[in-house]
Amino acid sequence: MPTTLITGASSGLGAEMARQLAATGEDLALCARRTDRLEELRAEILAAHPDRRVAVRALDVNDHEQVFEVVRAFRADLGTLDRVIVNAGLGKGAPLGTGGFAANKETATTNFVSALAQCEAAMEVFRDQRAGHLVVISSMSAMRGLPKTLTTYAASKAGIAHLAEGLRTELHGTELGRTVHVTVLYPGYIASEMNEKVAQRTPLMSTTEKGVQAMVAAIEKRVGSACVPPLPWAPLSLVMKHAPLPVLKRLI
């Protein structure tokens, strides 16, 4: 059975991906800071799928040495890691120059530098195994620079998407590229702890279950990139990328 590691798996999209991937027959390596929630999720999954293997470990992705330690330990525990989903993220932010540097720095560190550490640790394993699937969870906000509280968040999500795309370019046409795959997902509004306030303001919010179904479908197809759910986000991505600035500002 394939084995998938998910960071930030204690709630939201990470926890729901764990549930849905377990239902497809995958073993799981789940990590997050809140180990009590991980243990609850593990018990829930094993109750529904007793034949699954579900390993859990504490991980603060901003402890970069710990990132490498945990990924290596999971591989030792489970024998192999077939997929790593870089999911852990943060949504804090403030308009630039308004005294919110600490929040912006925390978001930039978590969403880019710590995601880099996760990609490095995953690729260390995949290069050694000569096989694997790296999945990076970006955001529709990565399509364009966004204002106010979203400025740093959008930039960090664009950064990690470009990091993964650069890796895919490196692997393309190589022997390793035939067995190591890279996927970037751009979720739109999917209900989660991170965007509870947004849910009150937009009709475009997908339920966690349906949104993650679209994410899991794209992951299992090992697509290069995908906006999820495809509707309305794939066509909206073109609007976000190409709309003149006055039009974009009215839309957001």
Phi first, then psi, for residue 55 (nearest 5°) are -100, 140
Residue-wise burial string across 205-222, b where 16 or more C-beta atoms lie within 10 A, e elsewhere: bbebeebbbbbbebbbee
Three-class DSSP labels, 117-156:
HHHHHHHHHHHHHCCEEEEEECCHHHHCCCCHHHHHHHHH
Residue 153 bears catalytic tag = yes
Residue with tokens 């989903």: 85
Grouping H, G, I as helix, E, B as strand and the rest as coil, residue 222 is coil
Report yes or no: 24 and 3 within 8 Å, Cβ to Cβ: no
Query: Which of 143, 151, 166, 35 shows the shortest CA–CA distance to 97?
Result: 151
Provide CB contacts within 8 A for 13, sequence distance 6+.
Answer: 87, 137, 187, 190, 192, 208, 211, 212, 215
| Distance (Å, whole) CA 187 – CA 181 | 19
Q: Please, are residues 158 and 140 in contact by the beta-carbon 8 Å criterion?
A: no
Q: Which of 74, 153, 186, 233 is catalytic?
A: 153
What are the residues whose beta carbons fall under 8 Å from the beta carbon of 213, sequence distance 6 or more?
20
Active site residues: 153
